[in-house]
Amino acid sequence: MIFEGTYPEILKDGKSLTGKYLSGHYRIEPPAHVRKWKRSIQLEGCRQNNLKNVDVEFPLGVFTVVSGVSGSGKTTLVKQILYPALMKLKGSSPTVWANIAS
C-alpha cells in the first residue's frame, strides 16, 4: 500500500506516483501521429457486469489498446462481449479472422 486517504490528499502527496499524475504534475503525452485506419467494429449498448449501455468502436488493422482504471470493465468488454460477438458472427475459421484483421 503506497497511499491511503482522500482525493485532495493524494493530489498533494509527494510519494504517490498516481497522485502526481492525477494532479497534472506528471503527464503522458499522447502520440503526435496515430496510424490511420478505415475499417472498425462497432459495439452498441454493451451491458455486462458493470458496463451500462456502453457504445464502443474498435479500429481494425492497427494496434489498439483498451485502457482504464481497475474494475472499469475492460476485460468484460473484450472477453465477454467483443470476443463472443466475433465468434458468433464469424465462427472460428482462421481465414475469416485474417480477413477481419486486414
Ligand X SMILES: Nc1ncnc2c1ncn2[C@@H]1O[C@H](COP(=O)(O)OP(=O)(O)O)[C@@H](O)[C@H]1O
Residues that bind Mg ion (CB under 5 A): 74-75
Which CB sits closer to Mg ion, 5 or 71? 71
By a kind-dependent CB cut-off of 5 to 8 A, residue 20 interacts, out of ligand X, Mg ion, none, with none
Binding segment for ligand X (CB under 6 A), chosen from 5-13, 18-26, 72-80, 87-95, is 72-80
Look at residue 41 and give its three-state secondary structure: strand
The answer to the question of residue 50 lying near ligand X (CB under 6 A) is yes
Q: How far is CA 27 from the centre of its chain?
A: 19
| Interior/surface letters 44-66, b for 16+ CB within 10 angstroms, e for the rest | eebeeeebeebeeebeeeeeeee
Cβ atoms < 10 Å from Cβ of 40: 13
By a kind-dependent CB cut-off of 5 to 8 A, residue 64 interacts, out of ligand X, Mg ion, none, with none
Residue 74 backbone phi and psi in degrees, to 5: -65, -50
- The CB-of-72 to ligand X minimum distance in angstroms stands at 4
- The CB-of-83 to ligand X minimum distance in angstroms stands at 13
